[in-house]
Structure 1
Amino acid sequence: MLYFAVPTVALLVIVSLAASAALLAVLLHFTSRGRERAVRRVLLVAIAVWALGLAVAVLPAAPQPDPSIPTGTFNWVPFLAHQQRDLGVEMVANLGLFAPLGLMLAFHWRRFAVLKTTALVLGLSVCVETTQLLLRNNRASDITDIITNTAGGFAAALIGWALVSAAMHRRPTAEAAAQESLRQR
């Protein structure tokens, strides 16, 4: 559940989207040029930064408990808290929490990227919610977070897979690259 002020969350989402767009541009550039080693290096750093951001976002204790879910329990009713109060910003934040990972893994896993990414995001989301439950740090553990996190990772993986496929098809063949090299001389 969201415990940051709405303007803070909005700023974090905007910065995250801008960073993701820049990262996506770099990954597409390297992929379309066939620079696999550069793609792997960028992904290594970007996934590490994303994981650090995830830990900062979900592990600290909340200043006050979420009134919709008692501390130390897990809400198994999807969207229950959303029925009790307006949580639109939280929903967008949860959809976007795993979206950068979904995009990045599409560049890492070319085959079955959407399926593997969705399974990984689901597992990570369950781990995050379980950790919040076990820490009893005023954070709410909720099935809705798992659903929205997984949906965000799935959608981003699908988009990333489509972009990677398009970039791979634009990549020049070895013969075309050799001819271009000869033409430039």
Structure 2
Amino acid sequence: MLYFPVPVVALLVALGLAATTALVALLMHLASRGRQQAVRRVLGVAILLWAAGLAVAVLPGAPVPDPSIPAGTFNWVPFLAHQDRNLGVEMVANLGLCAPLGLMLAFGWRGFSVVKTTMLVLAVSICVETTQLLLRNNRAADITDIITNTAGGLAAATLGWALAAWARGKHSPEPAFAPASLLEH
């Protein structure tokens, strides 16, 4: 069950995608110039903004209980609620929920960034679903959400790692001062 009308979800996903695209472009620009300190500063602000958006998206109570999962329970059967909810739109929203984090962390973690990011996204997703379960705020705690959030984070981390590696590869530091005879070789 979506807690926002489908057009609102579509708008939020589109805005999130546009913001993430702009952020990745900025991160690639900074990384290609070898400005790792600036990359870290931008990431710090962007991850805090993403976390605030995540809280706004997933923590408020739903106006009516989710009919697909009884209150106070956790659905352990993947994709069980397919008949009762607009699962296609919900899955796209869940895929995109943690994708920005996957893209951002790829620029912050060089070694094993895909594995570390996927594990972090999995942990964040489990925390979100556990919080929804414990708050009993008419939200559904569902294994499908964990699967789709993690899949979105994995796909984004893979793409982000490739983009970050490419941007870093473009950076070749030039010497601050080099005698003319060294430049001729």
TM-score, scaled relative to structure 1: 0.93
CA RMSD of aligned residues (A): 1.9
- CA distance in structure 1 between the aligned counterparts of 2:2 and 2:118, rounded to whole angstroms: 22
- CA distance in structure 2 between the aligned counterparts of 1:56 and 1:104, rounded to whole angstroms: 19
Deviations along 1:96-145, one digit per CA (max 9) or x if unpaired, are 00000000000010110000000000011000000000000000000000
Residues 8-87 of structure 1 aligned to structure 2 (within 5 Å): 8-87=8-87
- CA distance in structure 1 between the aligned counterparts of 2:149 and 2:110, rounded to whole angstroms: 21
TM-score, scaled relative to structure 2: 0.93
- CA distance in structure 1 between the aligned counterparts of 2:33 and 2:59, rounded to whole angstroms: 39
- CA distance in structure 1 between the aligned counterparts of 2:118 and 2:22, rounded to whole angstroms: 23
- CA distance in structure 1 between the aligned counterparts of 2:177 and 2:170, rounded to whole angstroms: 12
Asked whether the equivalents of residues 67 and 84 of structure 2 are also in contact (C-alpha less than 8 Å), the reply is: no
Specify the alignment match of 1:156 in structure 2. Answer: 156
The number of equivalent residue pairs is 181
- CA distance in structure 1 between the aligned counterparts of 2:77 and 2:131, rounded to whole angstroms: 19
Deviations along 1:30-88, one digit per CA (max 9) or x if unpaired, are 00000011101100110000000000000000001111100100000000011444321
* 5+ residue gaps, structure 1: none
Specify the alignment match of 1:131 in structure 2. Answer: 131
- CA distance in structure 2 between the aligned counterparts of 1:178 and 1:119, rounded to whole angstroms: 45
* 5+ residue gaps, structure 2: none
- CA distance in structure 2 between the aligned counterparts of 1:85 and 1:16, rounded to whole angstroms: 23
Name the SS for the 2:172 alignment partner.
coil
Give the drift of 1:175.
Answer: 4.6
Distance 1:124 1:160, change over 3 A: same
Find runs of 4+ consecutive structure 1 residues off by over 2 angstroms: 83-86, 173-179
| Aligned partner letter, 2:16 | S
- CA distance in structure 2 between the aligned counterparts of 1:167 and 1:175, rounded to whole angstroms: 19
Specify the alignment match of 1:116 in structure 2. Answer: 116
- CA distance in structure 2 between the aligned counterparts of 1:56 and 1:177, rounded to whole angstroms: 51
- CA distance in structure 2 between the aligned counterparts of 1:134 and 1:3, rounded to whole angstroms: 18
- CA distance in structure 1 between the aligned counterparts of 2:6 and 2:138, rounded to whole angstroms: 18
Kindly indicate whether residue 142 of structure 2 is the aligned counterpart of residue 142 of structure 1: yes
Percent same amino acid at aligned positions?
Answer: 72
Give the drift of 1:178.
Answer: 6.0
- CA distance in structure 2 between the aligned counterparts of 1:84 and 1:12, rounded to whole angstroms: 23
Asked whether the equivalents of residues 34 and 173 of structure 2 are also in contact (C-alpha less than 8 Å), the reply is: no
